[in-house]
Structure 1
Amino acid sequence: MPGRRLSPHRDDVRIALAGLLGGLLLWGAGLDTRPATEDLVLWAGRWPVLLPLTVTAGCELLRRTHPRTGLLIGGAALTLDTVTQGSLVTVVMFTDLVYAAVLYGPPATARRVLWISGLLTVLGTIVPIALWRKPEALLIGVVIGVVAFTPGATGWVVRNHRDAAEAARLRAEQTALLAEIDRVQAVTAERARMARELHDMVANHLSAIAIHSTAALSLDDPDTSQQALGVIRENSVEGLAEMRRLIGILRDSSGDTEPAAAPTLDGLGALVDHARANGLDVQLDRTHTALPAPVELAAYRIVQESLTNALKHASPGRVTVSLVQRDHALDVCVRSPFGGVRDDGPRAPGSGAGLIGMRERVALLHGTFEAGPEGGPTGGAADSGTGGTWAVRATFPITEGETA
């Protein structure tokens, strides 16, 4: 068996020494299992008793490491013991070898020992009765049952309990491992969700602040600077409010701060007006009815992030937002010009987290998402007549009956 010990277990060494010393004490006290005048005693004297005793004690060293070998040698020693005056300790140690062979041996060996010992017990009961026709003949079957079958059956019961305990331990470890995996996945999913919410709720305000503050610092025009400062203040106040609501969601119950309701597509008008106030030329076109709340939230966030990206990166021109509901799906598409040269101020840097968040939102609802140039570098020209069009497309499946 893999991983089996090569050296005897220390408990087996103790058992072997105890058996040998106990047998020597009984031998020294003259306590043999058969009298010296018995006809079956073929060897004269008491010294031959020590040979099977010593061999059986040595087999005890193999009871865990090589249980089959120990049982075979022990059986031969027990057979030898029957032609001497005999030692009770030799018989007792043999019963332990049977027990160990069933408990520590391979499953096939355990079953084989149990079947053989049971068969010997039955034969030892039936054959003597059939031959001798005496009730005393039953003692042979009883002795065989006590010496061979009983320790084997005991080892089988203990082995089953041990295997059941090991299986229960493994199931407990697997359950704990699965629970830990679920916990890690839940924490990761929650962190990703909060990252998306934080990005979507605050990034558009911070992007507007960054762009207009840069414009206010770079343009020597009091009116333009005043207008930029007004936009900066408006976005900073709204961003702070969004941040407070997000903190309320994290705390779950923050006393005076209640978590904000999830935005819906009814708020797209206000979202587009806010983008226009930040300087975007936005056209909104939508044809849809009531949708499931998760779809409305995801679609709203897709449009919000797309407008934020257009504010930061788009070339001058019109940004179109369209939402079209089909039989079992909602199509969201946001197109913005790109590739031209901006002449209305600097752009804000981007990290790419917005596209990752949009893709994750769509994947959670088993939809499809793509973002990239539309029509190639020279196709799909924007209003400015230069560059191309950047398109963000998302499709959300709608199961029948969910739109009510």
Structure 2
Amino acid sequence: MSSLARPHRDDVILASVGLSGGVFLWLVGIHIQNGRLLDAPWASLVPLAVMSALELMRRSAPQTALVIGTLALVADQFTVGSLATLLMFTDLVYAAVLYGTPAAARRIPVTTLLVTVAVTAGFIAWIPSADALLIGIVTGMVSFGPALTGASVRNHREAAVAARLRADQTVLLAEMDRVQAVTAERSRMARELHDMVANHLSAIAIHSTAALSIDDPGTSRDALGVIRQNSVDGLAEMRRLIGLLRENGAAGPPSAAPTLAALDALVGQAGANSASSGLTVTLDDGREETGPLPAPVELAAYRIVQESLTNALKHAAPGPVAVRLGRTREVLTVEVSSVLGDRPGPRVPGSGAGLVGMRERVALLGGTIAAGPEAREDGVKIWLVRAELPVEERTYGR
């Protein structure tokens, strides 16, 4: 109801111009026909007024306006007629197709075409002359022409709306891809930071606690030496990662990433850090295949061993910590086992982020990983981490 009470500004202008023009033509005595039933000139003002009022409804109720307008046009044929009334009717036909329902937009052009054909055929049969053909042409110009124009404009508008929607969807998809890329990169950086720094910080925490709790100069000196070495190594790792991020910010595993060739040094460092906790770290490289591995596989295997040794330093009971590597043509196997149980001395609480990072790394490579307690043949309970990484060349996710 509000749309009927407040017509569009353009519709008000059209109605005003149409009414004013029709009144002007009536005043100067310009009519379009003579010899009608209602021959009084004032009679043509009634259809004119009705058609002007219907122009106010051309957007809000276009189909209703067209039906009433058709009746007003028929009534105008019984008067001397007005050119303004005829022109406003053509606008109502146009508006009914442009602003009406999709069904009306399909039906009106077809209906007006059939009406034009029927009128032309009827008048040719009634008065077979050029005048009959002229009446058909005028009928088509008044009805079918505006309907066809409205259909064309509507199609162009709908095409423009569809194009805007596709553009908006493209922008939305691009933004989603950007967010996913940023999230994936943040996850990768989080894994790298955790795996690089956690080992050193765990050793620093354990040995600093030991130095504070044991009142022995020799023990404190040894602990401080381990603390210093891990501090230096941690800073070097941080500088390396920051440098890589500054150089090539986002792309895959960095070219300077650690490889399995550096496991000996990693195991040696872990043995030195955990010696005071009663842990002995060994490396058993039983790989049958010795060919090169994809860089993402080597990085993932190295980080899995690194995180597993860090967890052993935090939680394992005194005893052996065994790192084992195996490789077939298709799979690289990484196993790290440590004695499960309580042990004396300082311990560092874990956050669980390391296991999450390991699972993410393996999942990105399409491999499998399991971590949990197991019982050895001699009855000793161990914590075993076992990962299987496919080694064939492929496109790895980040």
TM-score (norm 2): 0.90
1:269 counterpart residue number: 264
- Distance across 1 between alignment mates of 2:113 and 2:267: 87
- Distance across 2 between alignment mates of 1:339 and 1:28: 110
Task: Figure out how many residues of one structure are paired with residues of the other and give that number.
Answer: 382
Unmatched 5+ residue regions in structure 2?
Answer: none
Match of 1:305 among 288, 304, 307: 307
- Distance across 2 between alignment mates of 1:42 and 1:131: 20
Question: 1:65-116 CA deviation, whole Å, 9 max, x = no partner?
Answer: 2211111111111111111111111111110111111111122211111111
Change (3 A) 1:381 1:224: farther
Change (3 A) 1:175 1:17: same
Q: Is the 8 A contact 1:319 1:336 kept in 2?
A: yes
Change (3 A) 1:339 1:381: farther
Unmatched 5+ residue regions in structure 1?
Answer: none
1:337 counterpart residue number: 339
- What SS does the corresponding residue of 2:56 show, helix, strand or coil? helix
- Distance across 2 between alignment mates of 1:382 and 1:391: 15
Instruction: Tell me the CA shift for residue 120 of structure 1.
Output: 2.3
Q: Is the 8 A contact 1:338 1:382 kept in 2?
A: no
Q: Indicate whether 1:159 and 2:161 are aligned.
A: no
Q: Is the 8 A contact 1:268 1:300 kept in 2?
A: yes
Q: Indicate whether 1:222 and 2:224 are aligned.
A: no
Match of 1:99 among 91, 94, 98: 94
Change (3 A) 1:134 1:6: closer
2:383 counterpart residue number: 390
Question: 1:306-364 CA deviation, whole Å, 9 max, x = no partner?
Answer: 11111111111111222222453223222112222x22x30112222111211111121
Q: Which moved more, 1:218-227 or 1:97-106?
A: 218-227
- Distance across 1 between alignment mates of 2:387 and 2:243: 30
Q: Is the 8 A contact 2:21 2:84 kept in 1?
A: yes
1:49 counterpart residue number: 44
Structure 1 stretches (4+) deviating beyond 6 angstroms? none
Residues 1-400 of structure 1 mapped to structure 2, 5 A cutoff: 5=3, 7=5, 8-35=7-34, 38=35, 41-252=36-247, 261-279=256-274, 280-288=279-287, 289=290, 290-340=292-342, 342-343=343-344, 345-374=345-374, 379-380=375-376, 388-399=381-392
Q: Is the 8 A contact 1:317 1:382 kept in 2?
A: no
Instruction: Tell me the CA shift for residue 5 of structure 1.
Output: 4.9
Q: Which moved more, 1:357-366 or 1:288-297?
A: 288-297
Change (3 A) 1:381 1:221: farther
Q: Which moved more, 1:122-131 or 1:112-121?
A: 122-131
Instruction: Tell me the CA shift for residue 260 of structure 1.
Output: 6.5
Which residue identity lines up with residue 350 of structure 1 in the other structure?
G
- Distance across 2 between alignment mates of 1:111 and 1:304: 70
Question: 1:253-281 CA deviation, whole Å, 9 max, x = no partner?
Answer: 79xxxx77011112111111111111241
- What SS does the corresponding residue of 2:382 show, helix, strand or coil? strand
Q: Is the 8 A contact 2:4 2:57 kept in 1?
A: no
Instruction: Tell me the CA shift for residue 27 of structure 1.
Output: 2.0
- Percent identity reads 63
- Distance across 2 between alignment mates of 1:131 and 1:209: 110
- What SS does the corresponding residue of 1:371 show, helix, strand or coil? strand
- What SS does the corresponding residue of 1:396 show, helix, strand or coil? strand
Instruction: Tell me the CA shift for residue 221 of structure 1.
Output: 1.8
